[in-house]
Structure 1
Amino acid sequence: MTPARPVETWLTDMDGVLVHEEDPIPGAAEFVAALRSSGRPFLVLTNNSIFTPRDLRARLGRSGIDVPEESIWTSALATADFLAEQRPGGSAFAVGEAGLTTALHDIGYVLTDRDPDYVVLGETRTYSFEAITTAIRLIEAGARFIATNPDPSGPSAQGTLPATGSVAALISTATRRRPYFVGKPNPLMMRSALNRLEAHSETTVMVGDRMDTDIVSGLEAGLRTVLVLSGSTGAAEVEQFPYRPTRVLDSVADLVPLVERLADGDDVEG
Structure 2
Amino acid sequence: MVTHYDGYLIDLDGTIYQGTKQFPSGRRFINRLAASQTKYLFVTNNSTKTPEAVAENLTNNHQIPTTPDQVYTSAMALADYLEKFDQIHRVLMIGEEGLEQALLAKGFELVTEAPADAVAIGLDRAVTYEKILQGTLAIQQGAMFVATNPDTNLPTERGMVPGAGSVVAFLATAVRPAPIVIGKPEHIIMDGALDKLQIKRHEAIMVGDNYNTDIKAGLSADIDTLLVYSGVSKKDDVLKQAKQPTHWVDSLDDWTIEK
On whether the aligned pair clears a TM of 0.5, the verdict is: yes
Q: Which residue of 2 aligns with 1:129?
A: 129
Amino acid at match of 2:177: R
1:137 positional shift: 2.0
Q: 1:22 aligns with which of 11, 17, 20?
A: 20
Q: 2:205·2:224 contact (CA, 8 Å) conserved in 1?
A: yes
Question: What does the per-residue CA deviation read over 1:83-108, in whole Å, with 9 as the maximum and x for residues that have no partner?
Answer: 00123661101011111010001111
Q: Which residue of 2 aligns with 1:8?
A: 6
Segment drifting more, 173-182 vs 48-57: 173-182
- Structure number with higher strand proportion: 2
Q: Which residue of 2 aligns with 1:161?
A: 161
1:114 positional shift: 4.1
Structure 1: how far apart are the matches of 2:183 and 2:87? 20
Partner of 1:27: helix, strand, or coil?
Answer: helix
1:154 positional shift: 0.9
1:126 positional shift: 2.4
Partner of 1:248: helix, strand, or coil?
Answer: strand
Unaligned runs of 5+ in 2: none
Q: 2:8·2:204 contact (CA, 8 Å) conserved in 1?
A: yes
Structure 2: how far apart are the matches of 1:5 and 1:33? 17
1:30 positional shift: 1.2
Q: Is 1:85 aligned to 2:84, yes or no?
A: yes
Amino acid at match of 1:230: S
Structure 2: how far apart are the matches of 1:5 and 1:239? 22
Segment drifting more, 127-136 vs 172-181: 127-136
Q: Which residue of 1 aligns with 2:69?
A: 70
Q: Which residue of 1 aligns with 2:151?
A: 151
Question: What does the per-residue CA deviation read over 1:28-78, in whole Å, with 9 as the maximum and x for residues that have no partner?
Answer: 111111111211111001000000010011112212222221111000000
Q: Which residue of 2 aligns with 1:38?
A: 36
Segment drifting more, 16-25 vs 122-131: 122-131
Structure 2: how far apart are the matches of 1:40 and 1:26? 20
Q: Which residue of 2 aligns with 1:52?
A: 50
Q: Which residue of 2 aligns with 1:202?
A: 202
Q: Which residue of 2 aligns with 1:216?
A: 216
Q: 1:41·1:197 contact (CA, 8 Å) conserved in 2?
A: yes
Structure 2: how far apart are the matches of 1:211 and 1:59? 25
| Count of matched residue pairs | 256
Structure-to-structure mapping, 1:224-235, within 5 angstroms: 224-235=224-235
Q: 1:5·1:202 contact (CA, 8 Å) conserved in 2?
A: no
TM-score with structure 1 setting the length? 0.90
TM-score with structure 2 setting the length? 0.94
Structure 2: how far apart are the matches of 1:221 and 1:149? 16
1:115 positional shift: 1.5
Q: Which residue of 2 aligns with 1:240?
A: 240
Amino acid at match of 2:69: E
Structure 2: how far apart are the matches of 1:33 and 1:94? 37
> What is the aligned-residue RMSD (CA, Å)?
1.6
Partner of 2:156: helix, strand, or coil?
Answer: coil
CA spacing shift, 1:87–1:15, aligned 2, 3 Å: farther
Amino acid at match of 1:16: G
